[in-house]
Chain A
Amino acid sequence: DIVMTQSPDSLAVSLGERATINCKSSQSVLYRSNNKNYLSWYQQKPGQPPKVLIYWASTRESGVPDRFSGSGSGTDFTLTISSLQAEDVAVYYCHQYLTTPRTFGQGTKVEIK
């Protein structure tokens, strides 16, 4: 199984400042045949189901604000919120879909400082 490890577990950022979440996979999630990273990011607000933000490591889902961006390749990935807004308070999860069982990171809680 591919183990996904996020860091940090939580972070507090001032409104308007940048938030950065890291995700590391125990094996590469880059599929050489199509040169795509099978890595997505989800946002989960309290009492709500998760919502996809980013897939293929860097493709923003339709309707997601452009302050959210994803980067990385192979085993190391980053989700960046360029200018934190109050509505971004949530837990963020990375997820690999290269292999089954599908696996998630443990989550990173983002709060306002």
Chain B
Amino acid sequence: EVQLVESGGGLVQPGGSLRLSCAASGFTFSSYWMHWVRQAPGQGLVWVSRIHDDGRNIRYADSVKGRFTVSRDDAKNTLYLQMNSLRVEDTAVYYCVREGASCGGDCHFDSWGQGTLVTVSS
């Protein structure tokens, strides 16, 4: 069974930093493109970042570019999101998401973690 378990969320002051982790199990983590998607309280889904299986093809939403860094450790089956210079508007549940691998390229999101809440407030 595919499992994605996020951790590392919490309360942080504006300008602070947090590192989110996503522990993956039940599949060959190193073969999959992975994403972070966030959802502000009561709001919709917003894509944040993507990292390919090679760890080198990386993209970010404009709203987080230069402040967030995505990485992966395939030996530990773990995805990370380093978040610096946090703003109030970064407050959200952050989901770790697996992109399907059966599409021969870009694919839908086939598995989601339960999410971890990040609250940026003074």
Residues of A within 8 A of B (CB): 34, 38, 40, 42, 44, 48-52, 55-56, 61, 93, 95, 97-98, 100-107
Contact = CB atoms under 8 A, between A and B. Distances in A.
Given A100-B59, A101-B59, A102-B35, A50 B108 contact: no
Given A97-B107, A98-B106, A104 B59 contact: no
B11 interface: no
Contacts of A102: 35, 47, 50
Contacts of A103: 47
A40 B112 CA distance: 14
Contacts of B50: 100, 102
B101 interface: no
Nearest to B109: A52
Interface string B80-122: 0000000000000001000110001011111011110000000
Given A34-B104, A50-B95, 18 more contacts: A40-B109, A44-B45, A50-B45, A50-B109, A51-B112, A52-B109, A52-B110, A56-B108, A93-B45, A95-B45, A97-B99, A97-B106, A97-B109, A100-B50, A101-B59, A102-B35, A103-B47, A104-B44
B61 interface: yes
Contacts of A51: 112
A97 B108 contact: yes
A26 to B, nearest CB: 16
Contact of B108 (A34, A49, A55): A55
Interface of B: 35, 44-47, 50, 59, 61-62, 95, 99-100, 104, 106-110, 112-115
A51 B104 CA distance: 21
Q: Enumerate the 5 nearest inter-chain pairs by beta-carbon distance, A residue then B residue, closest first.
A: A40-B108, A49-B112, A55-B108, A102-B47, A104-B45
A49 B95 contact: yes
